[in-house]
Amino acid sequence: MSGRTLLQFFHWYTPDGGKLWSEVAEKAHDLADMGITDVWLPPAYKGASGTSSIGYDTYDLFDLGEFDQKGSIATKYGDRTDLERATQSLSDVGVGVIHDVVFNHKMGADEKERVQVRRANPDNREEIEDEAFDASAYTRFTFPGRGGQYSQFIWDMKCFSGVDHIEDPNENGVFRLVNEYGNGEWNAEVDEEMGNFDYLMGSDVEFRNNAVYEELKYWGRWLPDQVRCNGFRLDAAKHIPAWFFRDWVRHVREAVDRELFVVAEYWHPDMDVLARYLDHVDQQLMLFDVALHHRFFDASKAGADFDLRTIFDGTLVAAIPDHAVTLVGNHDTQPLQAMEASVEPWFKPLAYALILLRENGVPCIFYPDLYGAHYSDTGDDGESHEVEMSRIDCLPRLIEARKRFANGPQTDLFDDPHCIAFIRHGTSDAPGCVTILSNGAEVWKQVDLGPDHAGAGFRDYLGHCEEEIFADDAGKLDLRVNGGSVSLWVRSETI
């Protein structure tokens, strides 16, 4: 039978109003019936922008919508009671809960401190001025609204490696804090973009401070004790030293559950970079297949000029399949985002078929593709833009098909630049299927399923082709796919 199927149950423009946790609870049963096995939730703790925070501006990891901080008790998604109800509802129907966590930085400090800093070149952070100078920085986090409940740890200048804003003098940039950690240098085992990509934004966490290290390990034990937790999505892994997540994941699994599912966001398309990172973390986690996402994006833009036989070239799922989480889009790639690379609507059904119905990879569904989304935001041109992301009509059917038909060994028929297919042969207990995709005109493709299927009738489970097609006495048949479309052929009696 098929394995995990994740759903990212939010997007960058999820509406305010504290309703998301309630929506999760309401839809839990339907998601389980559809075939979703795990739901990736947005960061559940208080962000610096309160009820407007998507969650990536981490303020207080221990405030799950329980304390009056940053202008509200609830987060953008609801209060702690709503969160508990949502995670329990998922657990009750056997759906795992994957929590998003942002350890890289903190924002919204409660107090300024006098610090010493050295300017770094924003375009090459290895270039740091020798001379340090005094300034004020927002580096002290006391969490007065929480009053020490759950944790009495106070974050101060010694807990951070850098900041992007100082006062007295008033400047923006990249500033390395002068403290006892790292001899004034950034962390190693981070991405080499911009010389050293340790620094990203806000008050950048100093993982070499043992007190910080122990506090984050404590939080990893604390959260699963508060709400249902079956795993984590780790944000901004390319900016965090690999040794930290190697140790942190091992520690949390030993303390909480050895079967915790962990996927890290290391947003890099180079397979050599990802392979090195997996080695650094002792192969303990999954990574998002960034290269495959960009192959989908390129294929959707090129149309019939793209050679579908190459769709998996250079991808994580092809090279290191046991560590690949495959996706068509996420909150960072949707329209009007800095990393916008939104797959064209016509190609999304094809892309989802390629991640949901094949043997390798753990597929991740994006909320707007399942439910749709409408939002507005300011684009790079400074103008306000309205964006409509329509739901993919056949996506629920594809998710159900993964549960029902994506079984048994796989045979690829990648023999045509404009039309590829693959067979899942099924098992003695579960049926298989044939998936056919075209990025050009309508195509008929001959498929040999063997004598076990002699004379059997087949129908397109997605309903894109209406006819019933019968195999000959040897189990061969010609199957159809419409132009620029995907069809999923299964034995008629299984529908």
User: Average pLDDT over the chain, rounded to whole?
Assistant: 96
116 and 38 part of one domain: no
> Is 250 part of any domain?
yes
Which pLDDT does position 1 carry in this prediction? 43
Task: Could you list the residues known to form a binding site, using ranges.
Answer: 104, 198, 204, 239
For residue 296, the enclosing domain spans 6-103+210-401
Question: Alpha-carbon torsion 236, 36, 39, 340, what sign?
Answer: positive
> Is 128 part of any domain?
yes
pLDDT at 2 over 70: no
CATH for 447:
2.60.40.1180
454 and 314 part of one domain: no
Identify the active-site residue in 57, 66, 164, 265.
265
313 and 220 part of one domain: yes
Identify the active-site residue in 235, 289, 369, 460.
235
Which pLDDT does position 194 carry in this prediction? 95
**Residues 179-238: pLDDT tens digits?**
999 878 999 999 999 999 999 999 999 999 999 999 999 999 999 999 999 999 999 999
Strands 171-177 and 111-121: antiparallel
380 given a catalytic annotation: no
Count of domains for the chain: 3
> Is 193 part of any domain?
yes
- Contacts of residue 126, defined as CB under 8 A and 6 or more positions apart, other chains included, come to 186, 195, 196
> Is 83 part of any domain?
yes
**Residues 105-119: pLDDT tens digits?**
999 999 999 999 999
184 and 252 part of one domain: no
CATH for 366:
3.20.20.80
Which pLDDT does position 387 carry in this prediction? 85
Q: 463-484 burial, b if ≥16 CB within 10 A, otherwise e?
A: ebbeeebebeeebebebbbeeb
**Residues 124-180: pLDDT tens digits?**
999 999 999 999 999 999 999 999 999 999 999 999 999 999 999 999 999 999 999
Domain boundary among 401, 430, 445: 401
Domain boundary among 353, 373, 401: 401
pLDDT at 339 over 90: no
Task: Could you list the residues known to form a binding site for Ca(2+), using ranges.
Answer: 104, 198, 204, 239
191 given a catalytic annotation: no
417 and 395 part of one domain: no
pLDDT-based confidence at residue 337 (cuts at 50, 70, 90): confident
Q: For the CA atoms of the chain, what is the radius of gyration?
A: 24
91 and 27 part of one domain: yes
d(CA 228, CA 21): 13
144 and 201 part of one domain: yes
CATH for 163:
2.40.30.140
98 and 53 part of one domain: yes
d(CA 87, CA 95): 9
159 and 249 part of one domain: no
Domain boundary among 174, 205, 236: 205
> Is 368 part of any domain?
yes
243 and 330 part of one domain: yes
397 and 423 part of one domain: no
d(CA 45, CA 37): 23
309 and 246 part of one domain: yes
Q: 125-142 burial, b if ≥16 CB within 10 A, otherwise e?
A: beebeeebeebbbbbbbe
> Is 263 part of any domain?
yes
Q: CA dihedral defined by 153, 154, 155, 158, rounded to 10 degrees? A: -100
> Is 1 part of any domain?
no
Residue with the larger pLDDT of the pair 36 and 374: 36
